[in-house]
Chain A
Amino acid sequence: MKSEMSIMERIAEAARSVTTGVDAGSVEHWVTIYVMGKGYRVPADLTILTAMEYAGYRFVRGVGCRQGFCGACSTVYRKEGDYKLQTGMACQTRVEDGMYMEQKPFAPAAKPAYNIADETFDAAVFLRFYPEVARCVSCNTCTKSCPQDLEVMDYVQAAIKGDFESLAEGSFDCIQCGLCAIRCPAEIVQYNVAQLGRRMFGRYGHPVPEHLTGRLEEIQAGKFDEEMDQLTRTPIEQLEVLYAGREREAD
Chain B
Amino acid sequence: MNSNSVRLPYYPGCTLKTAASSFEISALASAEALGMELIELPRWNCCGTVFSLTDDDLIHHIAPIRNLIRVQEMNRDGILDNENRLVTLCSMCFSTLKRAELLVRENPDKLKTINDFMYLEDDYNGDVTVVHFLELLRDMGREAISEKVKRPLTGLKVAPYYGCMMLRPKEVGIDDPEEPTIQGDLLSALGAEVVYNPYMKLCCGSYQTMNEKDAVVRLVHDILSHARADGAQVVATSCPLCAFNLDKRQKEVKETYPDFEEIPVLYFTQLMALAFGLEPGFSGFDQNYVSVEPLFKDRQLIPE
- Direct A–B touching, Cβ under 8 Å: yes
Contact across chains for A140 and B120 when beta carbons are under 8 A apart = yes
Contact across chains for A137 and B120 when beta carbons are under 8 A apart = no
Given A144-B120, A157-B46, A160-B46, A137 and B62 touching (CB < 8 A)? yes
Q: Does B82 contact A (CB under 8 A)?
A: no
Q: Does A122 contact B (CB under 8 A)?
A: yes
C-alpha spacing A160/B14, complex, angstroms: 7
Given A157-B45, A157-B46, A160-B46, A137 and B18 touching (CB < 8 A)? no
Q: Does A107 contact B (CB under 8 A)?
A: no
Given A140-B118, A157-B46, A162 and B17 touching (CB < 8 A)? yes
Q: Does B66 contact A (CB under 8 A)?
A: yes
Q: Which residues of chain A are within 8 angstroms of B44 by Cβ–Cβ distance?
A: 157
Contact across chains for B14 and A154 when beta carbons are under 8 A apart = no
Contact across chains for B46 and A138 when beta carbons are under 8 A apart = yes
* Least distance between B159 CB and chain A CB atoms (Å): 30
Q: Which residues of chain A are within 8 angstroms of B39 by Cβ–Cβ distance?
A: none
Q: Does A136 contact B (CB under 8 A)?
A: yes
Q: Which residues of chain A are within 8 angstroms of B53 by Cβ–Cβ distance?
A: none
Q: Which residues of chain A are within 8 angstroms of B117 by Cβ–Cβ distance?
A: 139
Contact across chains for A185 and B59 when beta carbons are under 8 A apart = yes
C-alpha spacing A136/B45, complex, angstroms: 9
Give the size category of A's interface with B.
10 to 19
Q: Which residues of chain A are within 8 angstroms of B66 by Cβ–Cβ distance?
A: 138, 140
Closest residue of chain B to A143 (Cβ to Cβ) is B120
C-alpha spacing A123/B13, complex, angstroms: 13
Contact across chains for B18 and A122 when beta carbons are under 8 A apart = yes
* Least distance between A188 CB and chain B CB atoms (Å): 12
Q: Does B182 contact A (CB under 8 A)?
A: no
Contact across chains for A123 and B18 when beta carbons are under 8 A apart = yes
Contact across chains for B14 and A137 when beta carbons are under 8 A apart = no
Contact across chains for B43 and A154 when beta carbons are under 8 A apart = yes
Q: Which of A14-72 contact B (CB under 8 A)?
A: none
Contact across chains for A136 and B18 when beta carbons are under 8 A apart = no
Contact across chains for A153 and B45 when beta carbons are under 8 A apart = yes
Instruction: Say which residue of B17, B18, B45, B120 sits within 8 Å of A138 (CB atoms).
Output: B45
C-alpha spacing A139/B60, complex, angstroms: 8
Question: Could you give, for residues 90-119 of chain A, a 1 whenever the CB lies within 8 Å of some chain B CB and a 0 otherwise?
Answer: 000000000000000000000000000000
Q: Does A215 contact B (CB under 8 A)?
A: no
Q: Does A128 contact B (CB under 8 A)?
A: no
Instruction: Say which residue of A123, A138, A144 sits within 8 Å of B63 (CB atoms).
Output: A138
Closest residue of chain B to A131 (Cβ to Cβ) is B210
Q: Which residues of chain A are within 8 angstroms of B177 by Cβ–Cβ distance?
A: none
Q: Does A161 contact B (CB under 8 A)?
A: yes
Given A161-B17, A161-B18, A139 and B45 touching (CB < 8 A)? no
Q: Does B48 contact A (CB under 8 A)?
A: yes
Q: Which residues of chain A are within 8 angstroms of B62 by Cβ–Cβ distance?
A: 137-140
Given A144-B120, A154-B43, A137 and B17 touching (CB < 8 A)? no
Contact across chains for B17 and A163 when beta carbons are under 8 A apart = yes
Contact across chains for A136 and B46 when beta carbons are under 8 A apart = yes
Closest residue of chain B to A84 (Cβ to Cβ) is B119
* Least distance between B10 CB and chain A CB atoms (Å): 15
Contact across chains for A137 and B63 when beta carbons are under 8 A apart = yes
Contact across chains for B43 and A137 when beta carbons are under 8 A apart = no
Contact across chains for A137 and B118 when beta carbons are under 8 A apart = no
Instruction: Say which residue of B14, B48, B60, B120 sits within 8 Å of A161 (CB atoms).
Output: B14
Given A157-B45, A163-B17, A139 and B120 touching (CB < 8 A)? no
Question: Could you give, for residues 45-67 of chain B, a 1 whenever the CB lies within 8 Å of some chain A CB and a 0 otherwise?
Answer: 11010000000000110110010
Closest residue of chain A to B17 (Cβ to Cβ) is A161
C-alpha spacing A154/B46, complex, angstroms: 10
In addition to A123-B14, A161-B14, 9 A-B residue pairs with Cβ atoms within 8 Å of each other are A124-B18, A137-B48, A137-B63, A138-B62, A139-B59, A139-B62, A157-B46, A160-B14, A185-B59
Q: 14 A–B contact pairs at CB < 8 A?
A: A122-B18, A123-B17, A123-B18, A136-B46, A137-B60, A137-B63, A138-B48, A140-B66, A154-B43, A154-B45, A157-B45, A161-B14, A161-B17, A162-B18
Binding site for B on A (CB under 8 A): 122-124, 136-140, 143-144, 153-154, 157, 160-163, 185
Binding site for A on B (CB under 8 A): 14, 17-18, 43-46, 48, 59-60, 62-63, 66, 117-118, 120
Q: Which 5 A-B pairs have the closest CB atoms?
A: A138-B63, A138-B45, A157-B45, A161-B17, A123-B18
